[in-house]
Structure 1
Amino acid sequence: MIRTYKVMLKPNNKQKTKLFECAGLSRWAYNWTLGKQKENYNNGGKFLKDSVLRKELTKLKKIKEYSWLNQYSNNITKQAIKDACNSYKRFFKGYSSFPRFKSKRKSKPSFYQDNIKIKFTKTHVKLEKLTTSKKKNRQKFNWIRLVEKGRIPTGEDIKYSNPRVGFDGLNWWISVGVKIEEVKEDKPKSEPIGIDLGVKDLAIISNGEKYKNINKSSKMRKLIKRYKRLQRQISRKYDMSKTKIEGGENCYKYHKTKNIIKAENKLKRLYKKIKGLRDNYIHQVTNSLVKAKPNYIVIEDLNISGMLKNKKLSKAIQEQSLREFRRQLEYKCKWNDVKLIVADRYYPSSKLCSLCGYIHKDLKLSDRIYKCPKCGNKIDRDYQASINLREYPKSVA
């Protein structure tokens, strides 16, 4: 089993400059590959394999104009070429849209590192060829400090896969896959549970537990209010710095001042804090559900893209991160040997009476209490949905 770890880096100023250069090289190699593939396709040629393009790039390095490529790791350009070729293949197979050239301003700075040459200690990571000097005191430049100590497993027997270094607008991060042997524990399993996800509350469990919507907490409301206020301040700063362009009636040019850059960085940090609180809360909820070791867990197959079309609820649904909740539950159930069952999308979990089995077809979204016309059962709508989901495998069998 491969487990992925993502840890923040703490490079010094010179290391930051080098990391941006490596990301720029990766972007250049990706765009160069796309340009070659596009030119070849327009001339009626067949698809160029990444091995052919890598050989062409090796010859290109011998030219004086492209000699600067020798100052960086060869693996960065190799993987960038491979990524571009894969995206080109995916387009022709119908899996994705046509690959676009990466923009320096809009694309995320990231690059690949060789999984064999990369080295980890409890406190540092060694990246390949950040410096070309072979002196011992210069080789220290290759070692970058990790913010979290001992998070990534180290040792001679550890095998790493697909190490990537990326920049999120504020900090540099490294993500790496680590091959770990599965250890199955014979822990006694508890009763199965059904989970009903919603907007009012994040999750209602069939055993009576309820996990509230974190976005409605006072702390989160204050942060969101501060975020909106800061957005308006930045907008006003842009309006103050605009100048009219000659030759046009409503044509203006906006100048990004140092104060605007400071405010935008502040906004990014605040957004990171809000997103971090939401992600951490989902991790806490999913961990508590899986570590209870239920016999099985049942969730609904929600149509998230269809739900987002509702203009009144789209923002609340987006903030709940329901798709992220399911993704975390899937891999955590796999890690802890818990069976996860996804109920059919059209299963009437909310309209089905948990006592007599009557389906209340006229039930509206505004009806929060379920009243069964047949047996008179009165129960919370979401709680009943979680009970019905728990019994879903029996109804299908």
Structure 2
Amino acid sequence: MSRFYSYINTPKTILSLYTGDIPFSAFLKNFFSKEKKYGSRDRRTISSLCYYYFRTGHAIEDRDLEERILTGLFLCTTTPNEILENKKPEWNEKVTLPLAEKISVAKIDVEKIFAFNDELSKDVNAKLFNTSFLIQPKLFARVRPGKQQVVKQKLEAAQTNFEEINNTCLAFANGTKLEAILDINKEVVIQDYNSQRVGELMTATNISAPVSVWDCCAASGGKAIMAYDILRDCKLTVSDVRQTIIQNLHKRLKDAGIKDYYAFVTDLTNHKNLQSALNNKKFDFIICDAPCSGSGTWSRTPEQLLFLKKEEITRYSDLQKSICVNTIPFLKKGGYFLYITCSVFKKENEDIIHFIQDKFSLTLVKMELLKGYEIQADTMFATLFQLT
């Protein structure tokens, strides 16, 4: 009995201490580093219970903390378990039911999981999007050119299950340790399915080689590596706001075998510094994977369901407008500007597109909401413009 008491009361303690100031994964790491009494199995169980709690979002805020944890456990798992058997045996008997039936048993209104349905982009199905938080997303990897055969051979030798989405995209169960099997960045890039689909917009261009590409919000470099693989003969420039990001990016590009590129640190909202860094250089292709709320990825970080404040949406939207105003002037005539977010909010998506259209003489080539909530992937928004 004491084990079940700990399994419920430790998550209650953790959740009461967490304030959302840092990613929950980092908070858990700090917590367990101080509490040495928990073994690996205990840490996994306690961590999972916390995440199950977050996945119910705002749907059952009127229930006590233990009830919310158990409800999350019931809805987010598919096999009988000893915690439910001890605490809610009537639910444990029904844990294998389809999710829709379990939602009815638990008596929750799934459309209350997400707090900002009135802010969603117009093509988002609110019910499906809300329901998706109760389902663990998959892990996706993009196979780099010429590596398909060796990647499959290694996965089969390691007896690792995978789903082949297309010739270059593989899906795995979340938590699969691909780094123990494959050469990450050289053979495959860990990259969400819809992040990979952004490459479809890269192929919708008709720029003659060599192509000058600027990934202005490069972050971890996934889009930069994809541009290098798709556009082939390209001169790559990458930038981001923090030196630590660029340092990590240097290592990742080196692992990917990309040597000829220019990297610099800049604040894209500071026009003067940006002008100095680029010295009036212009590009055939600008990738703007803009800083955003990340709301399309919250099934991976469900704590955000409870901690994002509504005013943050407007703050991100204002930031995105500033970045677009300062980066688009570096586009060559005939060049392309690719605006991307991993957000589901209209203010970060369609409203920014309207802003760009009002501010600049750009032709909209393609705009698409990449729905991930139906396929255990991230939801993204991508729009391709051309300066004609």
Shorter chain as denominator, the TM-score bin is under 0.3
TM-score, normalisation: structure 1? 0.26
Question: Quick check: which has more Rg, 1 or 2?
Answer: 1
TM-score, normalisation: structure 2? 0.26
